[in-house]
């Protein structure tokens, strides 16, 4: 075992280990840079989608019917229906009176 350790060139071993570590760091840095670029692209897309969503919500708010509007419509429809009902009863009463004479 001692003979093996004496025959090993530690300078060469150090250079091999350093080369492997350097290659690993280079590959790691490549993927980190790629990940950062993808995150930046997605971040830009997210900001654009948030802006479009905000514009869409604003458009919905402009066209939104409020509860008060629905109440007014309900009252107006009720008035129209009661008026139509009175007219129908009046016509029915007129026809019945006409039939009796």
* Lookup result for tokens 């280079």: 26
How far apart CA 72 and CA 67 sit, in angstroms, is: 9
Q: Rounded to a whole number, what is the distance in angstroms from the first to the last CA of the chain?
A: 135
Per-residue model confidence (pLDDT) at position 13: 82
CA atoms within 13 A of residue 80's CA, in its CB half-sphere: 6
CA distances from 49 to 19, 39, 44, 52, 59 (A): 45, 15, 9, 5, 15
Predicted TM-score of the model (pTM): 0.46
pLDDT digits (tens, 9 = 90+) for 22-54: 999 999 999 999 999 999 999 999 999 999 999
What average pLDDT does the segment 91-99 reach? 85
């Amino acid at each position: 075992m001692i003979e093996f350790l004496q025959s090993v060139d530690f300078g060469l071993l150090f250079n091999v280990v350093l080369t492997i570590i350097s290659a690993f760091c280079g590959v790691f840095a490549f993927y980190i840079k790629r990940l950062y670029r993808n995150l930046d692209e997605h971040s830009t897309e997210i900001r654009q989608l948030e802006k479009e969503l905000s514009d869409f919500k604003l458009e919905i708010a402009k066209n939104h019917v409020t509860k008060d509007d629905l109440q007014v419509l309900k009252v107006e429809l009720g008035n129209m229906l009661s008026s139509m009902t009175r007219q129908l009863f009046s016509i029915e009463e007129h026809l019945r009176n006409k039939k009796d004479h």
